[in-house]
Amino acid sequence: MRPVFSEAGLQRLHEVARGGLLCAFDFDGTLAPLVPVPDDAHLPDDIRERLLRLGQSAPLAIITGRGMDDIRPRLGFTPEFLVGNHGLEGVPGWESLTAAHAEACQAWLSQLRAALPGHDPGILLEDKRYSLSLHYREAADPPAAARALEALFATLTPAPRVVAGKFVYNLLAEDRCHKGSALLRLMECCGARKAIYVGDDVTDEDVFRMGHPDILSIRIEASASSSAELYLPDFCETARLLDVLGERLRQQGARNWLRAAP
């Protein structure tokens, strides 16, 4: 991984920052700072203003683990694409795939609600309809809570895809719908030549691992285990990235083609 604001990183950023670019972002930890209670997360005003300016030069996509009803009021603006539940919700043409995910989640929900009262009360179960998240940041003993949850997940039917994050486990149905495949579908829908994707967590690796030549992947915080091409040292650098990206697109005369035509 190379720093975005190195000579090589900026050169790579300038290569993709041209007309026909789709700009896609995760939300928590990428556009909004991580908070102990997920419901307290919000989009900072300065980030929103930068996204609005960037949206004049390129279509915007938010691809988040949150559900659609949850993420909409947190943004304060409407991007061209809003995708929830780690790529399962809101992708054009994928509507028929969501029913199976909802059915699996209801089965897990019943099993977990029956089992969790015997575990640490600091564990928070979040129902996103098409996926589930179990947060254990507030547990009395987070490592012990993580081990107990992993053992519990092994008993669930149908077997979920378990994706670990920062003090959270995400439960998803096993198939090919994820953030990476969702981004490719969005590029196809809007005719994007290239895309940039910025994320910070394990589910964002579904984009990074593709190593797609037309997608520039950027991770928040360096990680030796990440497949992202570039990285920002922390969330505080997101604003700077948006400034540099937006200025480069304006210099290139790029326009958001989805807004240009009536």
Task: Give the domain ranges of the chain.
Answer: 2-91+177-260, 95-172
Q: What is the pLDDT of residue 176?
A: 65
Q: List, in order, residues 6 or more apart from 68 with CB less than 8 Å away.
A: 82, 84, 85, 89, 90
33: Cβ–Cβ under 8 A, 6 or more apart, which residues?
Answer: 41, 44, 235
pTM over cut 0.85: no
User: Which is nearest to 204 in space by CA: 225, 233, 186?
Assistant: 225
Predicted confidence band of residue 260 (pLDDT cuts 50, 70, 90): low
pLDDT digits (tens, 9 = 90+) for 160-195: 989 888 899 999 887 667 899 999 999 999 999 999
Distance CA 63, CA 25 (A): 6
- For the cut 90, the answer to whether the pLDDT of residue 99 exceeds it is no
What 3-state DSSP class applies to 15? helix
Which DSSP state fits 203?
G
Q: Which fold has domain 2-91+177-260?
A: Rossmann fold (3.40.50)
- Terminal CA-to-CA distance of the chain, rounded, Å? 41
Question: How do residues 213-249 score in pLDDT, each as one tens digit?
Answer: 999 999 999 999 999 999 999 999 999 999 999 999 9
Please count the other Cβ atoms lying within 10 Å of the Cβ belonging to residue 18: 16
CA distance 108 to 160: 8
Closest CA to 48 of 226, 242, 193: 242
Helix (H, G, I), strand (E, B) or coil at 100: helix
Do 177 and 168 touch, CB atoms closer than 8 A? no
C-alpha–C-alpha distance, residues 9 and 13, integer Å = 6
Q: Domain 95-172 is classified in which CATH homologous superfamily?
A: Trehalose-6-phosphate phosphatase related protein; domain 2 (3.30.70.1020)
Give me the residue label for tokens 């149908």.
Answer: 158
**Residue among 55, 5, 7 nearest 240 (CA):** 5
